């Protein structure tokens, strides 16, 4: 049994199924299960399950719904649980936040990308605007504590200082809202989204409490499907890592030279040097999945697909050095930044 891509329009070729095709369009479903007996003939329609870390109302859930509006979100306790859900077939896709304008790559999920074989199939960038939420009727002057995800608390440092109250870190923003409700905390507020306030029936005491108005988080959508998506109106972007045991500067210069000579536009280049907590572990899918240790890894994003000949030539040139190259995915290069609807 084969599956259609979840991010491309489904093309149905069987003339006898024209009515069925109309029904699919009307329902706006994007995932079709095909019958192996009759070729590309749809036999059933299935909603995508998208795993994310957190509870309903979390920003990762909004990213999942932005990427796949008709999906069924699957909340998970941890980011690793979301990845495992896809690996075990309990979900079709997983959502991972990987970097933000305020914290850089401090969202720390690149290690999960390197240790698991789930290619990136889409990216979603979203504005993150934090609100101060409280139980109905609670006023600012009654607050003694604010709870939220550690990064949300860090992003709202000035607002917390002005409030002059204690703050406590919990697993995620929407989880803070749940905790607020389940314990009927009348002296505590949560930092979360305005949508979480609507979902859980809380009062918004203040909007846009983050320190910087420009606060964007990049989310990656992961899948077990290893086929390279077709180019779309946005073009393609590719993410890969170059791991090595040699001099970082030499490898970096070689990489820049190979891409520059072919006019390949880099959108991200970050060096992860040796760390005090040990080497970087990278899964090698081609050799059955062993984790290899490297003292240094270069993270590279660039415009284009692995199908492009000039990119193949660039990687072939880089491979002349003793390096390990692993493609993390080629996917839609969507330039839009989405907000909560």
DSSP 227-247: SPPPP-TT-EEEEEEEEESS-
Tally: H helices and E strands in the chain: 10, 19
Measured between alpha carbons, how far is residue 106 from residues 45, 150, 154 in Å? Answer: 39, 11, 12
- Indicate if the pLDDT at residue 8 is higher than 90: no
Share of the chain above pLDDT 90, in %: 65
Q: Classify strands 120-127 and 337-338 as parallel, antiparallel or unpaired.
A: parallel
Between 44 and 242, where is the model more confident? 242
Between 213 and 331, where is the model more confident? 331
Which CATH number do you get for residue 269? 3.30.70.260
In this structure, are 200 and 247 located in the same domain? Answer: no
Task: Give the pLDDT score at 102.
Answer: 77
The answer to the question of residue 340 being in a domain is no
The answer to the question of residue 337 being in a domain is no
Q: Work out how many domains the chain is built from and give that number.
A: 3
- Indicate if the pLDDT at residue 137 is higher than 90: yes
- pLDDT tens digits for 64-97? 999 999 999 999 999 999 999 999 999 999 999 9
- pLDDT tens digits for 286-327? 877 789 999 989 999 999 999 999 999 999 999 999 999 999
- Rounded CA gap, 193 and 65, in Å? 15
In this structure, are 66 and 148 located in the same domain? Answer: no
In this structure, are 137 and 87 located in the same domain? Answer: no
- pLDDT tens digits for 153-208? 999 999 999 999 999 999 889 889 999 999 999 999 999 999 899 999 999 999 99
Which CATH number do you get for residue 42? 3.40.190.10
pTM: 0.81
Judging by beta carbons within 10 Å of its beta carbon (0-12, 13-18, 19+), is residue 243 exposed, middle or buried?
A: buried
In this structure, are 51 and 152 located in the same domain? Answer: no
End residue of a domain, out of 221, 250, 277: 221
Strand order in the sheet with 236-244: 266-272, 296-303, 236-244, 323-332
Task: Give the pLDDT score at 341.
Answer: 55
Q: For this structure, is 219 an active site residue? A: yes
* SS3 category, 318: helix
Task: Give the pLDDT score at 278.
Answer: 76
Among 91-105, 106-120, 219-233, 249-263, the range with the most confident prediction by mean pLDDT is 249-263
End residue of a domain, out of 175, 196, 221: 221
The answer to the question of residue 35 being in a domain is yes
Given 34, 217, 238, 302, the catalytic residue? 217
Mean pLDDT rounded to a whole number for the chain: 82
Closest C-alpha among 238, 280, 232, 287 to residue 120: 238
Closest C-alpha among 248, 226, 267 to residue 99: 267
What is the 3 state secondary structure string of 46-107?
A: CCCEEEEECCCCCHHHHHHHHHCCCCEEEEECCHHHHHHHHHCCCCCEEEEEEEECCCECCC
Half-sphere exposure of 32 (CA within 13 A, CB side): 23
Task: Give the pLDDT score at 293.
Answer: 92
Host domain of residue 165: 131-207
In this structure, are 236 and 140 located in the same domain? Answer: no
Compute the Cα dihedral for 193, 135, 178, 172 and give only its sign: positive
In this structure, are 88 and 136 located in the same domain? Answer: no
Given 219, 259, 294, 302, the catalytic residue? 219
Task: Give the pLDDT score at 105.
Answer: 56
Task: Give the pLDDT score at 124.
Answer: 94
- pLDDT tens digits for 204-234? 999 999 998 888 999 999 998 765 444 467 8
Place of tokens 């409700």: 181
- Indicate if the pLDDT at residue 256 is higher than 70: yes
Task: Give the pLDDT score at 161.
Answer: 94
Question: Which helix (DSSP H) or strand (DSSP E) does residue 114 occupy?
Answer: helix 110-115
Share of the chain above pLDDT 70, in %: 81
Between 250 and 108, where is the model more confident? 250
The answer to the question of residue 203 being in a domain is yes
Dihedral of the CA atoms 182, 183, 189, 191 (nearest 10)?
-40
In this structure, are 236 and 307 located in the same domain? Answer: yes
End residue of a domain, out of 147, 177, 207: 207
Question: Which helix (DSSP H) or strand (DSSP E) does residue 163 occupy?
Answer: helix 157-163
In this structure, are 174 and 191 located in the same domain? Answer: yes
The interaxial angle of helices 248-260 and 309-318, nearest 10 deg, is 160
In this structure, are 324 and 255 located in the same domain? Answer: yes
Residues 196/177, Cβ–Cβ less than 8 Å: yes
């Amino acid at each position: 049994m084969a599956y259609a891509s979840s991010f491309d329009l489904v093309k149905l070729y069987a003339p006898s199924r024209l009515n069925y095709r109309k029904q699919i369009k009307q329902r706006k479903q994007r995932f079709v299960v095909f019958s192996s007996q009759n070729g590309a003939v749809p036999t059933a329609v299935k909603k995508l399950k998208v795993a994310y870390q957190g509870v309903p109302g979390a920003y990762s859930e909004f990213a999942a719904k932005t990427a796949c509006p008709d999906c069924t979100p699957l909340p998970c306790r941890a980011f690793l649980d979301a990845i495992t859900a896809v690996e075990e077939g309990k979900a079709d896709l997983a959502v991972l936040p990987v970097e933000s304008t305020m914290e850089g790559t401090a969202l720390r999920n690149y290690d999960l990308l390197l240790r698991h074989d789930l290619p990136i199939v889409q990216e979603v960038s979203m504005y993150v605007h934090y609100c101060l939420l409280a139980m109905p009727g609670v006023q600012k002057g009654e607050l003694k504590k604010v709870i939220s995800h550690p990064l949300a608390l860090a992003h709202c440092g000035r607002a917390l200082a002005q409030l002059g109250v204690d703050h406590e870190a919990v697993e995620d923003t929407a989880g803070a809202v749940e905790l607020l409700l389940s314990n009927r905390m009348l002296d505590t507020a949560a930092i979360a989204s305005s949508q979480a306030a609507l979902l859980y029936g809380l009062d918004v005491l203040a909007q846009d409490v983050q320190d910087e108005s420009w606060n964007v988080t990049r989310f990656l959508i992961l899948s077990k499907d290893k086929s390279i998506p077709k180019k779309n109106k946005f073009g393609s972007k590719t993410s890969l890592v170059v791991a090595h045991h040699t001099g970082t500067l030499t490898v970096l210069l070689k990489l820049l030279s190979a891409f520059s000579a072919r006019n390949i536009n880099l959108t991200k280049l970050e060096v992860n040097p040796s760390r005090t907590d040990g080497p970087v572990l990278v899964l090698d899918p081609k050799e059955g999945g062993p984790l290899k240790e490297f003292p240094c890894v270069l993270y590279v994003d660039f415009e284009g697909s692995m199908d492009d000949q000039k990119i193949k030539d660039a990687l072939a040139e880089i491979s002349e050095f003793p390096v390990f190259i692993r493609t993390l995915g080629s996917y839609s290069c969507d330039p839009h930044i989405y907000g909560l609807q």
